[in-house]
Structure 1
Amino acid sequence: MRLMTGGIAAALVLLLSGCTAPAPVATPVAEPTPEESAPAGPLLCGDLVADVNLAAVMTGSDGVVPDPVRAIRPNDAFDAVELAAAGGLGCSWRVGVAPTTTYAEGDDLAYLSIEVLPGAAAQWQPAWAGDAPSEDTLAVGAIEASTAVGESGWQLTAPVGDAWIAMRLTASGLGTTGSRYDGIAPDEMLSRLGDVAEATFEAVQGATPEQLAWPAATSQRQGDAVCNGGLDPQGIGMALDTTFTETEVYDPTTSAPRSFGEAVAAAARSYSCDYLSDSLRGPHISVVYGAGSFFDLLGQADVSTAFAPLDLSTAAGYADGDVALRAQVTDGPAAPVLMRVGDSVYMIFSKDGATAVAEAVLAQIR
């Protein structure tokens, strides 16, 4: 008699008992981890800095963690339009009560701004400390950033990838009536700014060209900077009941930039005119062509609280779409005017009669 092997016997027992052998269990195969894709479209302000870092850098000497809100410092209104026209990204936040004038006073008021100008790294210059470039630096990761401390606050700037990045923390009352940062060492404030910069630099360094392609002015100035047309001195002089015998033109495209602001102005191809007589230095007018669509930026806080609409609908040359804002200040006619005429944006400063000058510019354009 042949003996059954153990395997055959076990199978026979299962068969006789009405059971079947268990099916073989498949070995699980690990699925590949999905790769994290870069955000679609240009970077946004939220991609440059986390809320927790914003709150940390803007915390005052009382230690109370603030809740920063998006806001443009009123005195930076034209600069915001200029940067957008140049194809850059401007981000800014405020803590404290929103100002109702361009002076932005209040011992609890502070602004943090982060600005990125793509394609400008080769033009980079250090921050300015007073009337000279600063020699102070701060290591932010592998990047050596230029820093400066002054009466208005703290600055940090560096070339990152092919972009020029500028950061600034300003506070009312610094060095005078007192600010929310009294008692905090300057190095501590710069260290906080460096923490914010580290995340910003990483975001810009890791960005694709498409992520640094923000909208820009569709049509910029092509020819020389000339104070004619709407900027002709004759009509502007008549508006102020005087005669201007000379104009000074500042064209930022004619020389290498010495600061971030000059690099932005050159990229936007803006320029300015100053009007002079034998005994008077008159209005100062800046213009950036092709920037009309970016005038809507000025509807944001805090420009919206520090400027008020200026009605030019009865002025000669007015057309639908023209709009103007006048700064709310307490010293009368010196209030600057921001104005969109067609596809161009103007900023007008005049010791007297800024509104009259704005009307003259409008009339001479059309």
Structure 2
Amino acid sequence: MMRRSIAVLAAFAMGVALAACTAKSDQALPGSGSPVPTASAEPLLTCDDLVDMADVVDALTGSDGVAPTPVPATRVTTDLRDLVNEAAGGLTCSWRVGEPPFNASDAPSPESRLAYLIIELLPGSDGQTQDDAPNSGTRLGVDEIDGHPVWEDCADGGCWTEATVDEVKVVVTLTFPYWLQGWSRYGEMTADDLLPKTRPVVASTLEAIADAPAERTEWPSIGAVSDGSTCDSAVDPVAIASALGLPEVVWNEHRYDAESPQARVGLYECWQAGANDVSVTVGAGLAPVVAEMATEPDNARAFERVTLEGASQGDIALRSCATDAPRCSVLFTLGVDAYGVGSTIDAVAAAEAIIARSS
């Protein structure tokens, strides 16, 4: 569950101003606790308005039937695209049970009994599924919850429910490792057992949105940050190739569906597949997202803080390397912008090449 500190809010505001974005200047970034509304407006919906903690506990109770104590925590990830829902104008609520990962690049231990319950809300939706929504599991037959059409799915990473109410996209995710192997906290429970566990959370979230005036879901955003750049112009392939000792780097470019939070903030990805694997995610104006992520306890233990050559004072860099594979990831800020780099050769060298080319 995200809570915005005063320092991060200040950084966010500075980033918006410098990037010439169009955020709402009279509102703080949304969080799970107490967003700051305008004096004349209805208070923005918070996580406390969406769900009863008893339903959160029930959803996260495993096959042993022992009620856990959920901890507000965002899911540990090396992927910048997973972190932008609130920057895009949404609200994210997240709770963890079990032991958090020791390494962001490694799969958690089966003994960790790790699970997250995540609620993501994003206004301005036409009801279409995001381009990276779950689509490879078992779609089950529940067509509505409390009169609202929903779409449910389970796969090896967990179970999802998606719906749209009053143009607000709702995604409720129960995510946990090792389900198909039977090693998760849910043991041998099937999709028919798991999806009903989250339905009270879905139902109360949909009801809260349906009952709220539209202005209560007008969470601030940084707006789309787009300068027309492409992978070749924003991440010089010649500089990356030189840094990694490669004869060349040829970028493939991925842009997100317009409905997604990634597209709303202008995020895009550049990658070269194969033996010389390297990828770069470009997040203009998203430095505050990485800055806040770095302060959260789960991420502080799952990443190593590093200093990148050429970085300015105040910039942040987080590294994570897989234990049993050569790939490393680096999330770093560069002024008001953020980047995510992954490489099987040298992610730090690639990140430093990006910094060098920006100066």
Give the structure-2-normalised TM-score: 0.80
Instruction: Provide the alpha-carbon RMSD of the alignment.
Output: 2.5
Query: Alignment partner of 1:148: what SS?
Result: strand
Moved more, 109-118 or 183-192: 183-192
| C-alpha distance after superposition, 1:205-255 (max 9, x if no partner) | 2223332122322661142534324x10111111111122521111225xx
Query: Alignment partner of 1:98: what SS?
Result: coil
In the alignment, what sits opposite 2:288? 293
Matched residues in 2 for 1:134 and 1:187: separation? 11
Query: Alignment partner of 2:220: what SS?
Result: coil
Q: Which amino acid aligns with 2:287?
A: G
Distance apart, 1:159 and its partner CA: 0.9
Structure 1 residue 240 corresponds to structure 2 residue 244: yes
- On the 8 A contact 1:157/1:167 being kept in 2, the answer is yes
What pairs up with 1:277-288 in 2 under 5 angstroms?
A: 280-288=275-283
Matched residues in 1 for 2:141 and 2:78: separation? 25
Q: Return the match for 1:116 from 111, 114, 121.
A: 121
Distance apart, 1:53 and its partner CA: 0.4
Matched residues in 1 for 2:128 and 2:229: separation? 22
Query: Alignment partner of 1:322: what SS?
Result: coil
Q: Aligned in 2, Cα 1:349/1:233: closer, same or farther, shift over 3 Å? A: same
- On the 8 A contact 1:93/1:113 being kept in 2, the answer is yes
Distance apart, 1:73 and its partner CA: 1.6
Distance apart, 1:146 and its partner CA: 0.3
Matched residues in 2 for 1:150 and 1:295: separation? 28
Query: Alignment partner of 1:187: what SS?
Result: helix
Structure 1 residue 128 corresponds to structure 2 residue 123: no
Matched residues in 2 for 1:280 and 1:172: separation? 27
For structure 1, list consecutive stretches of 5 or more residues without a partner in the other structure.
1-37, 258-262
Distance apart, 1:275 and its partner CA: 3.2
Seq. identity, %: 30
Give the structure-1-normalised TM-score: 0.79
Q: Return the match for 1:51 from 50, 53, 56.
A: 53
Count the aligned residue pairs. 315
Structure 1 residue 269 corresponds to structure 2 residue 269: no
Q: Aligned in 2, Cα 1:332/1:59: closer, same or farther, shift over 3 Å? A: same
Distance apart, 1:151 and its partner CA: 1.0
Matched residues in 2 for 1:157 and 1:123: separation? 10
Q: Which amino acid aligns with 1:46?
A: D
What pairs up with 1:1-366 in 2 under 5 angstroms?
A: 40-75=42-77, 78-102=80-104, 103-107=107-111, 108-124=113-129, 128-130=134-136, 134=139, 136-176=141-181, 178-217=183-222, 220-229=225-234, 231-252=235-256, 263-275=260-272, 280-298=275-293, 299-312=295-308, 315-316=309-310, 318-327=311-320, 329-331=322-324, 333-366=326-359
Query: Alignment partner of 2:193: what SS?
Result: helix
Matched residues in 2 for 1:332 and 1:151: separation? 21
